[in-house]
Amino acid sequence: MNCIRQLFILLVVAVLAGCASSPTNQYASNKKVYTAKETSRTIDLTHPPRDMWDRIRRGFAIPNLHNSLADQWTDYYASHPEAVYRMSQRASKYLYFIVDELEERNMPTELALLPFVESAYNPAANSKANATGLWQFIPSTGMHYNLKQDSWRDQRRDPIASTEAALDYLNYLYDFQGDWYLALASYNWGEGAVKRSIDKNADAGLPTDYASISMPDETRNYVPKLQAIKNIIANPRKYGITLPKISNTPYFTTVKRTQTIDVAVAAKLAEMSVEDFKALNASLKRPVMLAEHQHTLLLPTDRADIFKANLEAYRGRLSSWQAYHARKGESYSAIAKKYGISLTKLREINKLGTKSTRAVAQTLLVPAPADQPGIQLASLEYPSDDSSDDESVDNTPKSKPSLRATSVRQSGKHIVVKRRVNVRTHVVKKGETLFSLAKRYNTSVDKLRALNNLKSNRLAQGKQLRVPGTDIRG
């Protein structure tokens, strides 16, 4: 019996020893478990993450780099607080998605800070080596990771596609090198170059760790720059840095699009600036998105429903351009003449070289027929003196209308028409939002905010709002 008991105990000990030696994930080290102090982690599991910065800190897992270059770059960034703040503001659009992807893959969250070093979190950033996007893919590496690049779109600038490709690449590099410092150096310099430097040291009987191998100055400074950003994010107060508040919530969402639509019109429908629209849709290289390309738009989460509602209610043409499928050998000059556009403009809008004179079976942008109505944004605007006669039935009590004089062209002559533009008062009820009220009163959120001098989209129950009424001609 004692022998059986001893055998059982030995078996249990062996099983437990095996469990203890197994890494909890593919990035855990069998040789050393890094402590929170060694990775700059600040973990308080008594509450959920307070914001994105707190969430990022909790996932720090790469050992801290302690050398003079890391100190120098930390001092450099700390001495440029405005630049750090601007980069952080740009990062606020993408951090939630990137950290979500890192956590899904069980990868260190420091990697979400890498675009600070790569692109200053500018999705349209370009380098001398023809790298572009948040993660600075060169064309060949982008193609290897299935990032489409043509005259219409460059997915190296797509926040979703480029992030997934970058994390795939970093994952591969870590598996290839077995060390995060070497993996990061490989991301900057190339895995082949790093491997050759390692082999050279090995052949000479020298150490082969990150600190010992030879590398270009740019690569030598690369990991210290990331460590510097990590130091500041880990403890901004220590370095006198103020970080913008970034909530731990998704900034953007995807919206499927089936129509041909101009970028400017899409931004207008989402009630956002073209600049902000392009920040999320930086992969687009033309001023129009063709239906046949079936692009998925990225919009702020609080703008997606606004975009859909405005698109549904939109009156007018969505694009001033149309697709023309040119035949191989067709003259660009003839195409330009056919559609009443200069050859220079045709080349400019379609990114055509000045030396090419004939098409190569391609899709070109040409102006839409002139006899079609132009782009109309009246349905998105606050009703003005030039609005249409479209009237809606509304039984809400109306305030006293005001009179405005306006000049209207009729039959070749100008006549003065007095128009009463009605402005009414609406008392906010429980559950009502600016978006629901904008839809009800056929206006926009921005117009309601401007009309009432609102600084945010928050509405308190019982608040009195000025809202546009029915426009009545007198």
CA–CA dist 71, 75 (Å, integer):
6
**CATH code, domain with 79:** 1.10.530.10
Residue 5: CB partners within 8 Å, gap ≥ 6? none
| Structure tokens belonging to residue 417 | 């028409």
Provide the sign of the torsion angle of the four alpha carbons 87, 56, 62, 123, taken in this order.
negative
Asked if 141 and 231 sit in the same domain, the reply is yes
Asked if 184 and 280 sit in the same domain, the reply is no
**CATH code, domain with 414:** 3.10.350.10
Catalytic site positions: 118
Is residue 219 a part of any domain in this protein?
yes
Is residue 63 a part of any domain in this protein?
yes
Is residue 310 a part of any domain in this protein?
no
CA–CA dist 322, 317 (Å, integer):
11
Asked if 231 and 258 sit in the same domain, the reply is no
User: CA nearest 98: which of 39, 148, 156, 166?
Assistant: 166
Asked if 222 and 276 sit in the same domain, the reply is no
- Give the single-character DSSP code of 112: G
Kind and range of the H or E run holding 417: strand 413-427
Is residue 206 a part of any domain in this protein?
yes
Which residues on adjacent β-strands are paired with residue 410? 413
Is residue 183 a part of any domain in this protein?
yes
Q: How many CA atoms lie within 13 A of 321 on its CB side?
A: 23
The alpha carbon torsion through 308, 314, 317, 320 (nearest 10 deg) reads -60
CA–CA dist 246, 95 (Å, integer):
9
pLDDT one-digit tens code per residue, 409-466: 333 333 333 333 456 788 888 777 776 787 788 787 777 777 777 766 678 887 888 8
Res. 27: pLDDT tops 70: no
Among 191, 209, 239, the domain boundary falls at: 239
Asked if 235 and 257 sit in the same domain, the reply is no
Query: What is the predicted pLDDT for the residue at 381?
Result: 31
Is residue 110 a part of any domain in this protein?
yes
| Structure tokens belonging to residue 70 | 């890391």
User: CA nearest 129: which of 217, 35, 137?
Assistant: 137
pLDDT one-digit tens code per residue, 201-212: 999 999 999 999
CB 23 within 8 Å of CB 30: yes
Asked if 221 and 280 sit in the same domain, the reply is no
Asked if 394 and 455 sit in the same domain, the reply is yes
Is residue 399 a part of any domain in this protein?
yes
Asked if 79 and 185 sit in the same domain, the reply is yes
Is residue 392 a part of any domain in this protein?
yes
Domain enclosing residue 410, as ranges:
382-473
Q: What is the pTM of this model?
A: 0.69
pLDDT one-digit tens code per residue, 237-294: 999 999 999 999 999 999 998 888 999 999 999 999 999 999 999 999 988 998 888 7
Asked if 192 and 80 sit in the same domain, the reply is yes
How far is C-alpha 238 from the geometric centre of its chain's CA atoms? Answer: 30
Based on the structure, what is the number of domains in the chain? 3
Asked if 153 and 290 sit in the same domain, the reply is no
| Structure tokens belonging to residue 64 | 């801290």
> Is 453 or 309 the better-scoring residue by pLDDT?
309
CA–CA dist 184, 190 (Å, integer):
9
Asked if 222 and 122 sit in the same domain, the reply is yes
Asked if 57 and 186 sit in the same domain, the reply is yes
